[in-house]
Homo-oligomer: A and B are copies of this chain.
Amino acid sequence: MKHLIPLDNLVAALSRLPGVGRRTAERMAMAVVQDQKGLMRILANALLEADEGIACCERCGNMTLTLENPCGLCIKPRRDAQILCVVETPSDIMKIEQSGGFHGRYHALMGKLSPMHGTGAADLRVDRLLQRIADEEIEEILIALGTDVESDATASYLKEVLATREVKVSRIAFGLPAGSAIEYSDSSTLARAISGRQEMV
């Protein structure tokens, strides 16, 4: 059977979605092409509308409506303007907002240092961060990056860059996750929990 080039291209595009391999993409493409209710156009339109309607906040990088830029979190007067939480992606902002544990403002780097993926310091929104420190009344930078090697490298890099600025730099704590027991914790988690121990007051 001859190959249908538009179908092959669709499979290739779908397989770039997270968690979608070649076989899954093929199954999806076949389902989309054969859908009797116009799923192909519905999906294409949803993508184009998201592309037009959603933008990154020019200030913090968070996702926002194109028509509301800077985003709600940046302009809300009730949020603490003195503490700025630096994250990797807008998704992280959403996660932290859901936790309810932070009431300051945000700054998404849109990545982390990764020689493997060719992401260098120039690709991150660090210049914009320094600009914000100069312009806004920021007293503390809270680095909310994960515990992988790339996040650690990015945190160290930020610490270095920020050393000359008059801001306190902190990083979220690493330790036992909520509800876990010593018995089931792995060694590195335990080691970090011990080194990050806090005085009980």
Contact = CB atoms under 8 A, between A and B. Distances in A.
Contacts of A36: 110-111
Interface in A49-77: 49-54, 63-65, 72-73
A40 to B, nearest CB: 5
Contact of A46 (B4, B13, B46): B13
A121 interface: no
Give the interface SS of chain A, mostly helix, strand, loop or mixed.
Answer: helix
A14 interface: yes
Contacts of A122: none
Given A6-B50, A53-B5, A97-B1, A91 B34 contact: yes
A4 B34 contact: no
